[in-house]
Amino acid sequence: MPTRTASTEVGLSREQRADHTVIALDGELDIASAPSLRERLHSELADVALADPGPRVVLDLSGVTFCDASGLALLIDARRRTGPGGTVVLDGPRPQLLRLLRVTGLDRVFTVRSLGGAAESRRARSVAA
């Protein structure tokens, strides 16, 4: 069985849209990357919450290649950090992550779009580049 090497770097970018904020994640959401990603994600969510006390945040997960329990905890924490009235939509998770969300019941906690607008537009931009 092949071994998997843990990555500590996860790409994170934020794009403000008219009625919501898209935060795109790229890489592996695992025990190795969670601590540094948590700090960066908290900072981004704090900035969003300052601009809008009940923000709608779309997490574009189309670039996430692996997710373990630490990654799921990050997603749950992001939902909590949006505060009362805030929402988090999980957009474009790959089949493995979508399966994980279903098995854990998190697909009933979050709104999950298997290929929504943010992920689709990012894929279109990468094909055009």
In the structure, what pLDDT confidence band is assigned to residue 1 with cuts at 50, 70 and 90?
very low
Distance CA 31, CA 129 (A): 32
Note the pTM of the prediction, 2 decimals: 0.81
Q: pLDDT tens-digit profile of 30-45?
A: 999 999 999 999 999 9
Q: pLDDT tens-digit profile of 97-116?
A: 999 999 999 999 999 998 65
In the structure, what pLDDT confidence band is assigned to residue 22 with cuts at 50, 70 and 90?
very high
3-state SS string for the chain: CCCCCCCCCCEEEEEECCCCEEEEEEEEECCCCHHHHHHHHHHHHHHHHHHCCCCEEEEEEEEEEEECHHHHHHHHHHHHHCCCCCEEEEECCCHHHHHHHHHHCHHHCCEEECCCHHHHHHHHHHHHC
The domains found in the chain, sorted by start residue, are 11-128 (3.30.750.24)
